[in-house]
Structure 1
Amino acid sequence: MSKTDLFDPVSFNGLTLKNRIALSPLTRARATQDGKAGDLQAAYYSQRAGAGLLITEATAVTPGGRGGPMLPGLWEDDQIAGWKEVTDAVHAKDGLIFSQLWHAGRLSHSSLSADGRTPPVSPSEYSQPGEIFTEQGPKPYEPIHVMTTADIKGMIGAYEAAATRAKKAGFDGIELHAAHSYLISAFLNDMTNQRDDEYGGSIENRARFLKEILEACLKVWDGKRIMVRLAPLAHAYGTWDTDPEPLFNHVIDMMNELGIGWLDLVEGDTGVTRTPEPYFDVLKLRTRFKGPTILNNLYTRDMAVDARAKNTGDIIAFGRPFIGNPDLVERLKANAELHEAPLNAYYGGGARGYTDFPTMEEA
């Protein structure tokens, strides 16, 4: 095995990680209908506690913030206990786990809202093509409600409340999902934000929503326990920013000024059809950011070893390989063959295709 520090313990922001490998957020659609985690999620995450840091699946801050059914949330106090089971199980294996807080924005559906009728929200009018999967099956994306200033302030409060619940549930930190055209990302990108008030227009205005959410979360968490997920070059759901370099330089500078501790950086595109855009070296954001950076870009073992050899990132995230390999860190360390989980195991169902994949030892 080539010499690497990928598997060595490392300390950042007062936390000691077992290694430099993170579990990337992975939507698995196995929560209850009312967004609760529990025994099943506790087993799943604790199986993967060999990673230096676990980041949960996208966890909605409001019922209408979900991008599909059977997705978890932290929008009410009744959801705290289930997540406490998860954090206790991970901590019992000396693991660390952050909660990824999320709102899908226009990429939700009225049937997922609290009353089953409230339309999805967005910073501006945007007609999203395609369909969303709901409890009633696939349905077209709906016309959205353009958020008022009062709506925005209320949403910031929802993030703060969810951050408070995450702390009560025993998480080691939180991540804000600010990528892939979900609500925060939709405010950042000029294609989806056409507002002419203090939340639109200039880069500073478009970043204001994220800044105010971060400021609200800083009332609950020390900045060293807050992470932001960014994907500057992504073309998720057919949208992007037309000039990403100055935008994301500003976002990183803002994070530094606020004392935010972690950057989860998705380096590339999301694999959808793309239109050419002004390109910039996204890895420059890592050196601009003052805290540790998690790199996320469909990494293989060799890519991860190379990234650490070149010191292009502090931690390397793995996503899909963790689905079928609960002991992925040990397999990577041994340079062993990985089990490729079938696509039909990714979303929905129960333990089958979720917690029943064997470790190397069991196999």
Structure 2
Amino acid sequence: MTALTTTASPLLRPYEGRALRLPNRIAMAPMTRGRTDDRTGAPDALTAAYYAQRAGAGLIVSEGLWVDPAAKGGPGIPGIASEEQTAAWRGVTSAVHAAGGRIYAQLWHVGRMTHPAVLSGGLEPLAPSPVRITGEEIYTARGRLPHVTPREMTTGEAEAAAAQFAAAARNAVRAGFDGVEVHGANGYLIQQFLAENTNRRGDRYGGSVDGRTRFAREVVHAVAAEVGPERVGLRISPGNPENEIREEDPAATYRALLDALDPLGLAYLHVIERGAYPALADLRPRWSGTLIANYNGSTPTRREQAEPLLESGTADLFSFGRLFIANPDLPERFASGARLAEPRWDLVYGGGAEGYIDYPRA
């Protein structure tokens, strides 16, 4: 891997935090690519090559890995719940480490964002409350289908789901990942518990801010107890309307969540800012550890948007998603000023090597 040239960009400065020591401040954001064998949910040599090509990132966060068969959100999405999957991910982490990189596994439960046609063995979508998505369809191996009404999780099932995250974290560390990121963003299960419109529960997981944040707190505590808080990150997207989420007062919800979790000493907090709520500016003072910023918009974020956040101290790292698809050597391109390539959008999801590992370096 070629050493980066000296540059004034804060993105290319080394970073040393409480748990992370990185050669630059560029993170590769988690991105679903849908290229896993759907029968096994296990990655292969193409996956290893894909991530190793991008090992110049200060930190790679893997695509979302389902923590339980009921947590899977679509065809071709990998898991970290079985021995076969755990063994297969060792090939990926070994390739990244051999290329000089660092990689965290994103732990994912989609909640209501799945379909019986995606799940196997007669499983059904689970969620905090039986609230169906009505404005869009879901992609399955049978094509696009209307969402179904999820089944409300029992109190015991919510407790079991936190344990599934912890077991998946243990598998990820056994597979050689440097740590794990709990996916609490983008309208999936954890955010479904946080949001008022998808959480209408009357038990201890619903109602007040304390009730709605309980599941997120229990998941993070369980994962941290399993692998150590210094190996755990959390991703959130306060106020993000994606997947028909409506949070009435994201400031109150996420301030309370961070106040409860900051003392744990996690590896990092990964904040997606999208929507009217200024999440980064509001939450930065409440988080004493490493903060990774991300903008979730309709176009890829450019370095000019990221650099002021680092200079101001609002964030310590910035995660880029779509730019990494076509630019496996993104940090080097930032350093040299090389032109950024555009992805082939029709090849982003599913398929084989084309549009996955065949993008050239600058």
TM-score range, shorter chain: over 0.9
Q: Which moved more, 1:181-190 or 1:8-17?
A: 8-17
1:24 corresponding residue in structure 2:
29
Are the aligned partners of 1:9 and 1:17 in contact in 2 as well (CA < 8 Å)? yes
1:143 corresponding residue in structure 2:
149
1:327 corresponding residue in structure 2:
329
Number of residue pairs the alignment of both structures matches: 351
SS in 1 for 2:145: strand
2:168 corresponding residue in structure 1:
162
Q: Following superposition of structure 1 onto structure 2, how do residues 168-183 of structure 1 map, counting pairs within 5 Å? A: 168-183=174-189
Among all aligned residue pairs of Structure 1 and Structure 2, give the percentage whose two residues are the same amino acid: 39
Correspondence 1:59 to 2:57: no
Correspondence 1:240 to 2:238: no
Partners of 1:86 and 1:292 lie apart in 2 by 25
Amino acid at match of 1:323: I
1:122 corresponding residue in structure 2:
127
Are the aligned partners of 1:4 and 1:309 in contact in 2 as well (CA < 8 Å)? no
Amino acid at match of 1:264: H
Are the aligned partners of 2:28 and 2:320 in contact in 1 as well (CA < 8 Å)? yes
Amino acid at match of 2:66: A
Q: Following superposition of structure 1 onto structure 2, how do residues 81-96 of structure 1 map, counting pairs within 5 Å? A: 81-96=87-102
Partners of 1:235 and 1:307 lie apart in 2 by 23
Are the aligned partners of 1:64 and 1:112 in contact in 2 as well (CA < 8 Å)? no
Amino acid at match of 1:6: L
1:295 corresponding residue in structure 2:
293
Residue 2 of structure 1 and its aligned partner are, at CA, apart by: 6.9
Residue 260 of structure 1 and its aligned partner are, at CA, apart by: 2.1
SS in 1 for 2:217: helix
SS in 2 for 1:101: strand
Correspondence 1:265 to 2:267: no
Partners of 2:193 and 2:113 lie apart in 1 by 13
Change (3 A) 1:281 1:156: closer
2:312 corresponding residue in structure 1:
310
Unaligned 5+ segments in structure 1 are 270-276
Residue 332 of structure 1 and its aligned partner are, at CA, apart by: 1.0
1:283 corresponding residue in structure 2:
281
Partners of 1:315 and 1:210 lie apart in 2 by 23
Are the aligned partners of 2:66 and 2:108 in contact in 1 as well (CA < 8 Å)? yes
1:4 corresponding residue in structure 2:
9
Partners of 2:347 and 2:324 lie apart in 1 by 12
Residue 176 of structure 1 and its aligned partner are, at CA, apart by: 0.5
Residue 113 of structure 1 and its aligned partner are, at CA, apart by: 2.4
Q: Following superposition of structure 1 onto structure 2, how do residues 343-358 of structure 1 map, counting pairs within 5 Å? A: 343-358=345-360
Q: Which moved more, 1:322-331 or 1:217-226?
A: 217-226
User: Could you report, residue by residue, the CA deviation over 1:254-310 in whole angstroms, capped at 9, with x for unpaired residues?
Assistant: 1113332210000124xxxxxxx7x45542212210111101015312122222222
Partners of 2:76 and 2:278 lie apart in 1 by 37
Residue 24 of structure 1 and its aligned partner are, at CA, apart by: 0.4
Unaligned 5+ segments in structure 2 are 1-5
Amino acid at match of 1:54: I
Partners of 2:283 and 2:314 lie apart in 1 by 10
Partners of 1:280 and 1:300 lie apart in 2 by 19
Residue 12 of structure 1 and its aligned partner are, at CA, apart by: 1.9
Partners of 1:201 and 1:307 lie apart in 2 by 35
Change (3 A) 1:2 1:8: closer
Partners of 1:343 and 1:281 lie apart in 2 by 29
TM-score by structure 1 length? 0.93
Residue 10 of structure 1 and its aligned partner are, at CA, apart by: 1.6
Partners of 2:239 and 2:333 lie apart in 1 by 31
1:273 corresponding residue in structure 2:
none
Partners of 2:86 and 2:109 lie apart in 1 by 18
Q: Which moved more, 1:154-163 or 1:47-56?
A: 154-163
Q: Which moved more, 1:194-203 or 1:30-39?
A: 30-39
Amino acid at match of 1:144: P
SS in 2 for 1:132: strand
Quick one: which of 337, 340, 345 aligns to 1:338? 340
Amino acid at match of 1:82: A
Partners of 1:87 and 1:323 lie apart in 2 by 19
Quick one: which of 217, 227, 240 aligns to 2:223? 217
Q: Which moved more, 1:166-175 or 1:251-260?
A: 251-260
Change (3 A) 1:260 1:16: closer
Correspondence 1:69 to 2:75: yes
Are the aligned partners of 1:13 and 1:225 in contact in 2 as well (CA < 8 Å)? no
Amino acid at match of 1:74: I
Partners of 1:35 and 1:15 lie apart in 2 by 29
Are the aligned partners of 1:39 and 1:82 in contact in 2 as well (CA < 8 Å)? no
Are the aligned partners of 2:271 and 2:293 in contact in 1 as well (CA < 8 Å)? yes
Partners of 1:13 and 1:88 lie apart in 2 by 24
Residue 334 of structure 1 and its aligned partner are, at CA, apart by: 1.3
Amino acid at match of 1:182: Y
Partners of 1:148 and 1:124 lie apart in 2 by 10
Partners of 2:57 and 2:250 lie apart in 1 by 31
Partners of 1:358 and 1:92 lie apart in 2 by 20
Are the aligned partners of 2:193 and 2:212 in contact in 1 as well (CA < 8 Å)? yes
2:3 corresponding residue in structure 1:
none
Residue 126 of structure 1 and its aligned partner are, at CA, apart by: 0.5
TM-score by structure 2 length? 0.94
